[in-house]
Structure 1
Amino acid sequence: MTEVRLEELLAPGVVADDVPELAPLLKARPLLSAFSTLFHGSEAEVLMRLLVLREIGRETDSPRWGPEQLRQRFAFLDPVKLETVLRRLRGNGLLEIGDDSLYALSDLGRNAVAAIGMLVSFSTEDDLELGFLTAQLAGLQAVGSVTPEALGHLLGKLNDLAWHFEDAIASGSEFRIADARRRLSANTRWIERGTEVMAGLLADPEVPFDLARVAQRIGLAQSRLARVDAAFQRALNKIEAQRVTLGGSGISSSDVAGWLRRLDGPALAELATGALSMAPELTLLAGGHELLDRAELALSDEARRIEADTALPPAEDAPSNRAPEQEDLRLLQHFSQRLARLAEPGSTPAPLASLVAGSGFPAASYRLSLLALLADGGDEGGATPADGPIGEFMRLPLDVLFEAGTVKVGEDEIAAMSTGLVGAKGSLPAAEVVPILDATDSFSDPA
Structure 2
Amino acid sequence: MQNSTELPDSLEPEDQSSSLQAYFKPEVAYDDIEQVYQLKRAQPILQSFTALFHGGFDSVLVRLLVLRELAGDTQSSSFSRSDINAKLAYLQPDSLETVLARLRSHQLLIWEAATSVYRVAPMARNVLSALDSLMGSQQAPEQVEDADMGFLLTQVAGAQALGGVTVEQLQHLLGRLVDLTEEFRDAIASGSEHRLRASQGKWNNACDWVEKGTKIIYSITQDGNADPATQRAAQAIGRAQSALLNMQGMFSRALNQIERQRVHLGQSGLSTSDIKSWLMAHDDLASLADEVIDHPVMPLFATPGEMIDVAEAELFAVRAHQNTDLPNGLETQFQMQDKAALYTQLDEWLSGLNKISNERSSEAGLPVGVDVQQVLLPSSFAVASYRASLLPLIGDADQASLQGAAARLAGLDMQFMLNDKLVAIDDPEVSGISDSRLMFLHSDSTDNDQQE
TM category, shorter = 0.5 to 0.7
Change beyond 3 A, Cα 1:178–1:88: same
Question: Which of 204, 216, 240 lines up with 1:221 in the alignment?
Answer: 240
For residues 12 and 263 of structure 1, the distance between their equivalents in structure 2, rounded to whole angstroms, comes to 59
For residues 25-56 of structure 1, give each alpha carbon's deviation from its aligned partner in whole angstroms, at most 9, with x where no partner exists.
01111111111111111111111111222222
CA RMSD of aligned residues (A): 2.9
Question: Which of 120, 137, 146 lines up with 1:105 in the alignment?
Answer: 120
Question: Which of 55, 58, 61 lines up with 2:69 in the alignment?
Answer: 55
Q: Which runs of structure 2 are paired with 1:130-149 in the superposition (5 Å)? A: 130-149=149-168
Residue in structure 1 matched with residue 27 of structure 2 by the alignment: 13
Provide the identity percentage: 41
The amino acid that maps onto 2:198 is: D
Contact 1:260–1:268 (8 Å) recurs in 2: no
Residue in structure 1 matched with residue 85 of structure 2 by the alignment: 71
Matched, 1:86 2:100: yes
Report the CA distance between 1:70 and its aligned residue.
2.2
Question: Which of 17, 25, 33 lines up with 2:39 in the alignment?
Answer: 25
The amino acid that maps onto 1:55 is: E
Change beyond 3 A, Cα 1:71–1:252: farther
The amino acid that maps onto 1:254 is: S
For residues 288 and 28 of structure 2, the distance between their equivalents in structure 1, rounded to whole angstroms, comes to 57
Question: Which of 243, 247, 271 lines up with 1:252 in the alignment?
Answer: 271
Aligned length: 279
Contact 1:97–1:103 (8 Å) recurs in 2: yes
Report the CA distance between 1:206 and its aligned residue.
3.1
Report the CA distance between 1:235 and its aligned residue.
1.5
The amino acid that maps onto 1:166 is: R
The amino acid that maps onto 1:163 is: E
For the residue of structure 2 that corresponds to 1:127, the secondary structure is: helix
Matched, 1:163 2:182: yes
Report the CA distance between 1:172 and its aligned residue.
0.8
Residue in structure 2 matched with residue 120 of structure 1 by the alignment: 135
The amino acid that maps onto 1:241 is: R
Contact 1:56–1:63 (8 Å) recurs in 2: no
Contact 2:111–2:118 (8 Å) recurs in 1: yes
Report the CA distance between 1:262 and its aligned residue.
4.2
For residues 228-283 of structure 1, give each alpha carbon's deviation from its aligned partner in whole angstroms, at most 9, with x where no partner exists.
22322221222122223334544332222123334457739979x999xxxxxxxx
Q: Which runs of structure 2 are paired with 1:9-408 in the superposition (5 Å)? A: 9-98=23-112, 99-124=114-139, 125=143, 126-264=145-283, 267=286
Structure 2 alignment gaps of length 5 or more: 8-18, 298-325, 328-452
For residues 154 and 69 of structure 1, the distance between their equivalents in structure 2, rounded to whole angstroms, comes to 43
For the residue of structure 2 that corresponds to 1:71, the secondary structure is: helix
For residues 58 and 20 of structure 1, the distance between their equivalents in structure 2, rounded to whole angstroms, comes to 37
Higher mean displacement: 239-248 or 223-232: 239-248
For residues 198 and 254 of structure 1, the distance between their equivalents in structure 2, rounded to whole angstroms, comes to 41
Change beyond 3 A, Cα 1:101–1:184: farther
Contact 2:279–2:285 (8 Å) recurs in 1: no
The amino acid that maps onto 1:115 is: A
Report the CA distance between 1:87 and its aligned residue.
1.2
Residue in structure 1 matched with residue 433 of structure 2 by the alignment: none
Determine which structure has more spread, i.e. the larger CA radius of gyration: 1
For residues 311-369 of structure 1, give each alpha carbon's deviation from its aligned partner in whole angstroms, at most 9, with x where no partner exists.
xxxxxxxxxxxxxxxxxxxxxxxxxxxxxxxxxxxxxxxxxxxxxxxxxxxxxxxxxxx
Report the CA distance between 1:182 and its aligned residue.
1.4
For residues 63 and 237 of structure 1, the distance between their equivalents in structure 2, rounded to whole angstroms, comes to 63
Report the CA distance between 1:88 and its aligned residue.
0.8
